[in-house]
Amino acid sequence: MAYKKEDLIKKAHSMKSYAYAPYSHFAVGAVLQCQDGNIYTGCNIENASYGLTRCAEQVAVLKAISEGNKEFMAIAVCSSDKAFPYPCGSCLQILAEFAPDLTIYLSNGWGAEKEFLLSELLPYAFTLKEKEGK
């Protein structure tokens, strides 16, 4: 089943309610859509040892990979705040490993939306694969 952008954003907003964000108070939800139509959800999970915190995007990706799905087409990321939840560099690099042409939908807590290609947010992703002509 192919989900519409609006459906992914709505589901990502609902995932914010599962966030564990006692330190930042910045709840984030994510929904990752795969080529086969399956979706995988995530929310941010903070930890007192900040380095152990997991972003909503990472949770969704890890769930997809652990279920055998590595072909991603879009991700919606939504925040509880007025600020847009731009994926951090780590999340962008993880997503680039599997889907360098991924579409990223962002929505803030006020319902405003933005859309990007992953390559716009991370134009020089690290890769060990030789790229033709580069």
- Residue 101 tokens read as 């042409």
> 46, 57, 97, 113: which one is catalytic?
57
Asked if 57 is an active-site residue, the reply is: yes
Residues whose CB is less than 8 angstroms from the CB of residue 49 and which lie 6 or more positions away in sequence, other chains included? none
**Cα–Cα distance for residue pair 118/99, rounded to 1 Å:** 8
b vs e for 39-58, b when ≥16 Cβ sit within 10 Å of the residue's Cβ?
A: bbbbbbbbeeeeeebbbbbb
Instruction: Calculate the alpha carbon distances from 115 to 19, 43, 50 in Å.
Output: 23, 20, 29
Pairing verdict, β 72-79 and 39-43:
unpaired
| Catalytic center residues | 57
